Amino acid sequence: MINMQKTYDLAAGSRQAVQHRVLRNTYWLLALSMVPTVIGAAVGVSLHLPLGGMMMSLLFLAVAFGFIWAIEKNKDSGVGVALLLGFTFFMGLMLTPLLSRILGFANGGFLIMTAFGGTAAVFAVLASVATVSKRDFSGMGTWLFAGVIILMLASIANIFLHIPALAIVISVVAIGIFSAYILYDVQQIINGGETNYIRATLSLYLDVYNIFTSLLNLLGIFGGDRD
């Protein structure tokens, strides 16, 4: 009986060590992924790359899903890390239209820093909640995925419709969905449901990216100063 208990304790300790390592590596890679994102955004804005419009939006979706597919296929190798960093550079480039519009405001720099700080605060709070909470957030997965599909369809529709009110609703809903996804994704690591740090980083990066862009879009709509 004592040997069985020791075996159980060793197994539990091993699982906790793996989960801790995955979480640590995920946070490190997530922090690193911000570097190519910032570089991509800086390059896009400085070169005034023409990345807006309907065709570019559809091309963006195609390239983004291509990157995600490739990262999943190479998630167990260094190639996966390289692809992830390449993906984050691409995502930084695709911030060009939004950042250029926001920087057109007199307080554009302040709005960008506010969105960055707000996103960091949301991530820190929800990641902490997911780490210490005893509540099981795994049941949210199906509903959140369905919400993302609806959100994508609405976003694609608004490329053609250009309805300002719908854009506001999409941004608000996106902040809610991807904030909830932080709870879900971090707890997946904590509970051992996600054991690959590259895939975990990709999930959290998309959460953070979508919260940032949605929050910045709302700040631009309601707080942009043209004077």
CA dist 99 and 94 (Å) reads 9
How long is the chain?
227
DSSP code, position 138: T
Residue 171, classed as helix, strand or coil, is helix
Question: Residue 207: CB partners within 8 Å, gap ≥ 6?
Answer: 123, 178, 179, 181, 182, 185
Enumerate the domain spans of the chain.
2-223
From residue 21, give the alpha-carbon distance in Å to each of 5, 171, 192, 194, 197.
Answer: 24, 34, 11, 12, 9
Query: What pTM value is reported for the model?
Result: 0.91
Q: What does each of the 227 residues of the chain score in pLDDT, given as a tens digit?
A: 555 554 444 444 567 777 889 999 999 999 999 999 999 999 999 998 887 777 777 788 899 999 999 999 999 999 999 999 999 999 999 999 999 999 999 999 999 999 999 999 999 999 999 999 888 888 898 999 999 999 999 988 888 888 889 999 999 999 999 999 999 999 999 988 889 999 999 999 999 999 999 999 999 999 877 76
Nearest CA among 199, 202, 221 for reference residue 210: 202
